[in-house]
Structure formats: C-alpha cells, structure tokens
Homo-oligomer: A and B are copies of this chain.
Amino acid sequence: MTLDPGAGANRAPARPNKNFHHIGSFEPELGGYLEEVTLAYETWGELDDAGENAVLVAHALTGDSHCSGGPSEAYKRGGWWDAMVGPGRSVNTDEYFVVCSNVLGGCSGSTGPASVAHETGYPYGMRFPVITIRDIVRTQKRLLDDLGVRKIEVVLGGSIGGQQALEWAVEYPDFVEKSVVIAANGALGPLGLGMSEIGRRAIMADPFWRGGDYYGEEKGPETGLAIARMAGMLTYQSAPGQWERFGREPASRPALYEEFGGRFEIESYLHYQGQDLAGRFDANSYLYLTRAMDIYDVGFGYASQEEAYERVDAEMLFVGISSDWLFPATEVRASAEKAKGAGAEAYYEEMESLNGHDAFLKDWDELRAAVEPFLDK
C-alpha cells in the first residue's frame, strides 16, 4: 500500500502544495469516535480579509485534493479538474480562495481506515466507524473554520462530490452562497446501490483482504479492488459511448490475466483501469466511501427530503448528464424540482454527452456551459 503522509507509509512522490490539518476528535453521526482527525487539503488563490471569497471543490470517489495544476511527477495527469479550476478559469483562482480537501475516510492524506488509531497503535481497518456525507461535510467545515473562511461563495462537485455540495447547502445554510450539484441527487437509486455492493463483495471476498487487516502485509486485496473498479468504471460510462469508444474491437494491449477465449478492448480497458486503481487506492476506503455514497439521503435526520430542502438558503444548480445511468438525469432533475418545490432557488441544467457519469471529468465545454452562467450570476 502506497499511502500519503498522515495516513501511514510514505513512498509517494513529493506533493509540495499538500497540507495536513488536524481538526481534533470527531464523532461520526452514526456512532463511533475518532480521537484525532487529519484532513489533507490544498488551496489556490488568496482568502480576502473578510474570509468570504472561498470556493470549496469536492472530489469524486477515488479523487483527491489535487483539483488544479498541470502535470507533474506526483500528478502525471495534473489536477483532476484543472480545466475548471485555475487562473481565469470557470473557478477563477485569481478571484477566489479555492480549497479542495481529501475526504474523511479517504486514503490520500485524510484520516481513514488505513490511519493508525490512537487507541490501539494499529490501523483502523474495519474498526473505522461508518461515515456519512454529512460527516465528510462537517469535518470540511472545521477545516474551513480553522483556515479563517467565514463564507463559502460556491461549493461544487460531481458524483459523491455533488452529494457533498448538496449536503453543505442543507447542513450549513448560513455559510453557503451557491451550491453546484453535478451528476448527483438527494439519494442514489437501487441500480447504483447494487453496483456498489458488487464492488464491495469483490473486495471482501479477496482472501488478502483479511477482514480489513491487510496493512503492512506484502499483499492486500488488490485483485478484489480491481474488480470493484471494473464494475465502477462500467457505471461511469454509457452504452452508446462504449460502442463509440470500444465497440467489439479485440484488445490492443497485453493481457493482464490469463487468456480465456480471447479478449475484447473493453475487457482490456477494464483490466487496466482496475490495476491502476488497485495501485493507488486503499480497498477499505473504497468500502467506506461507497457505503457513504449509498446511504446518503438528503432527508436523513429530517421529517422528509422536503424539510431538508426547506433549510437551504443557497442558490442551487443541479447538473444532470444525459447518458448517466448511475445518477440518471431524470433523477437529478427530480431533486432540483424537489428543492425548488421546498422554496429553494434551484436551477437545473443538463449536459448532452455520450460519456455517461464521467462526463463531468471529461466534457469541459459542456460542463463550462452548464455551470459558468450560474457561477457568474
């Protein structure tokens, strides 16, 4: 396991802009206790004197705090939202103080299952408490408070990052001016729940998972995590997009697994995607974060989803993607309408794309067209 400082071993290339902030102890809403929580984060731009020009960018499932920046040794592909976040970009770092933090439960520097528990001196593993999107948001709030932020101008993110953007607007109505919820909604549907569970089962079935206590062992559940990633990748794309990109072409890259009756390009693609994630992500974090995504319901703790939306003071933009089947556009739109029905100033935009759920990490022109008018308002 290659993990960032703050979460265990450190064999990764230097990440000079990454900071580690201790927010102290934390009580997750569903129970348990974390003695000492660290959040890894990066910032771009300057916070103004009033502390009111902050933008919070929330990363997707396997993302990290590095949303902006060109390719480097540590980040070969650059920041995951570099096309959106930077000087003069949609999220203008000349104007805003941009914060992006690795989530609680993650494995890129923030406290998660791979972190050493104070109480025992060993990594948490599956003794890590179940966490929720609200827990992630609450820990982010502590970080922002400590950074001197008094108001979030915009919080935005896609997928599980979109769930966070939504929860921010509900949990801290006085703190958020605008919330941009991309390819996410008030509660994931059963198809998404099922796909998540297939991935978790593959990880937990891997004998090297060892009940979650694989840290320090030579081999961990990389095979299971790779299968989970394959299932995930399929849900992030669309069938028409896959026809265009892969069709039924034979595999062009060397086999990663023993041959069995040939290989199609889509299989090979999935194999390599699986291998890639298994080399950079912690399987237990995958379990905890997909579970947080699944159990998120904007109405949790309120009488109804409507009651949750009634709390919102921020202007909200929901962005659906036409070919997304993890968070179908119709379901994203339905959340926008529910928010609006509850009195929130909520808008809906739809990106036309064949790239499925992943379009918010690819189709920059369409994404800019969907969010810029709202950001510039």
Q: How far is the CA of A230 from the CA of B246 in the complex (A)?
A: 24
B-contact bits for A235-277, CB 8 A (1 contact / 0 none): 0010100110111100000000110111011110010000000
Taking a contact as CB atoms under 8 Å apart, the answer to whether A200 and B262 are in contact is: no
| Chain B residues within 8 Å of A270, by CB | 194, 197-198
- CB closest residue in chain B, given A132: B261
- A187 interfacial contact with B, CB 8 Å: yes
| Chain B residues within 8 Å of A246, by CB | 190
Taking a contact as CB atoms under 8 Å apart, the answer to whether B287 and A260 are in contact is: yes
Q: Which of A56-64, A202-210, A342-350 contacts B (4 or more CB under 8 A)?
A: A202-210
Secondary structure dominating the interface of A: helix
- Write 7 A-B pairs (CB below 8 A) sorted by A numbering: A189-B243, A190-B243, A198-B234, A204-B257, A205-B223, A227-B227, A261-B288
B-contact bits for A160-201, CB 8 A (1 contact / 0 none): 000000000000000000000000000111110111011011
A202 interface neighbour in B190, B195, B227, Cβ under 8 Å = B227
**Known contacts A198-B234, A201-B230; 20 further A-B pairs (Cβ under 8 A):** A126-B260, A188-B248, A189-B239, A189-B248, A190-B247, A190-B265, A190-B266, A193-B267, A194-B242, A198-B198, A198-B227, A198-B230, A198-B231, A200-B260, A202-B202, A205-B223, A260-B291, A261-B288, A261-B294, A264-B294
